[in-house]
Amino acid sequence: MGFKTNANIYKNRELRIYKTFVTGNRQTVGFHHHRFSGARTVHTGAPLLGARLLSVEELFARGSLQEYLKRLEAEYSECLTLVNHSAMEERCSEEELRAKRSRVSLLAPLVQSIRELDTKHKEITETEALLRDEDPELQELAKLERDGCLHDIQDLRQKILDLLIPEEEADLSDLILEVTAGVGGQEAMLFTNEVFDMYHGFAQHHGWSFDVLEHMTSEIGGLRHASASISGPESYKRLKFEGGVHRVQRIPKTEKQGRMHTSTMTVAVLPQPTEISFTINPKDLRIDTMRASGAGGQSVNTTDSAVRIVHLPTGVVAECQQERSQLKNKEKAMKALRAKLYSRKLEEVTSKRYNQRKVQIGTKGRSEKIRTYNFAQDRITDHRIGMTVHDVKSFLLGEELLEEMNSSLQEFSNQETLMELLGENDQGGS
């Protein structure tokens, strides 16, 4: 999991983004890429995190980080000594030995990077001495060597931060995406349809599959509710911060007097478990079949093909009526049910761990708005990190701008995780 997530993507696309997340500060951000022209204004309001995004250099300047790295190095050495000791098995149970070996395996890449970083620091100290040599050619070589060392140090620091952020089990999952119209009547449903299309575009942008499970339309082409199964590398990891209330401010197509309206819709992002990681007892299910309702394809609502599955112990319900085949609808409804139950399980496990975080994941924070789409000002603002980008039309395509927003959310989330590991609450302090 990258601390500066998607850094490689940006590098590969030759995209450089200059961002400053400082409360109340407006910045002009230049995008240097063949698909962008000119500059786009990005500014921050008052992020709920109450702190800016720290640079790699600032993080490594913190004494708490240096102490934490030393503790991990010491733990690695201690575990390695115990594992390699000839009398180890006599003093430890097989379970304890397995735990020590697992810890050694986990810490090894991190410790190797820490030691490589120490070596580079020594090399740069030696190089600095050569810069004072009177020989111009030697000075030039020393400068090149120093520049190379500085580049390696930056890369190693970034790698260490990446390794410090623990992998979330659900990050490797596919997902079920649900969208539901909120306050605002037909306008809320129209906006829900646009947001659903945005995520379809995001899936296409990444080459993921996007399989519609439910699609309940309104009279004028909006969406009351829809869900889709999204599958692809890091699909859940890249979309997990989209869960919450999305607000739109614009003059609706249905408005006769040109007044601005505010409407809402809700997004839920549910990790899709594998068969191995999560099982459901068939005895706990009630499966009902019915005739599909609403607008459908030819013959879709003339047979009892729609399926509703109820998980009796929890009351969780999932249904599907997209397919003509009852069997296919049952498979899709089961997939949605598994995702809902798995998400509940994860929430129970992680609720205490995440309840202090501002950048929540999955179905967290669904009662408050996370993002505003203001068409009159042509801006999108994420209220969790106070980040605003302009160009609503491009954002709703689900391509680079949504990618940028999610990357920033991941960076802030990683910083929150790191500060928790360091035992710090004040992210802006030193």
Of 232, 254, 239, which is closest to residue 198 (Cα–Cα)? 239
The domain spans of the chain are 57-164, 169-367
Q: How far apart are CA 201 and CA 196, in angstroms?
A: 9
Strand 387-390 to 379-382 pairing: antiparallel
Give the pLDDT of residue 83: 83
Which residues sit opposite 177 in a β-bridge? Answer: 228, 269
The whole-chain average pLDDT of the chain stands at 80
Give the pLDDT of residue 424: 60
Grade residue 255 by pLDDT with cuts at 50, 70 and 90.
confident
Q: What average pLDDT does range 208-235 have in this prediction?
A: 92
Distance of CA 422 to the CA centre of its chain: 21
Q: How far apart are CA 104 and CA 111, in angstroms?
A: 10
Crossing angle of helices 400-422 and 185-206, in 10° steps, is 80
Q: How far apart are CA 291 and CA 158, in angstroms?
A: 55
| Weakest mean pLDDT among 2-6, 120-124, 171-175, 266-270 | 2-6
Is residue 6's pLDDT more than 60?
no
The answer, as to whether pTM is greater than 0.85, is no
Residues 6+ apart with CB under 8 A from 399: 201, 202, 205
Q: Which amino acid is at 116?
A: E
Would you state the structure tokens that stand for residue 171, as one six-digit string? 């990050």
CB atoms within 10 A of CB 194: 16
Highest-pLDDT range among 59-63, 122-126, 298-302? 59-63
What is the DSSP-derived secondary structure letter of residue 145?
A: H
| Residue 177 and residue 199 in contact, taking contact as beta carbons nearer than 8 Å | yes
Q: Which amino acid is at 193?
A: N
CB atoms within 10 A of CB 303: 13
Give the pLDDT of residue 380: 97
In percent, the amount of the chain with pLDDT more than 90 equals: 45
What would the pLDDT profile of 64-95 be if each residue is shown by its tens digit?
999 999 999 999 999 998 888 755 556 667 77
What is the DSSP-derived secondary structure letter of residue 401?
A: H
Match domain 169-367 to its CATH number in 3.40.250.10, 3.40.50.2000, 3.30.70.1660, 3.40.50.10890. Answer: 3.30.70.1660
Grade residue 136 by pLDDT with cuts at 50, 70 and 90.
confident
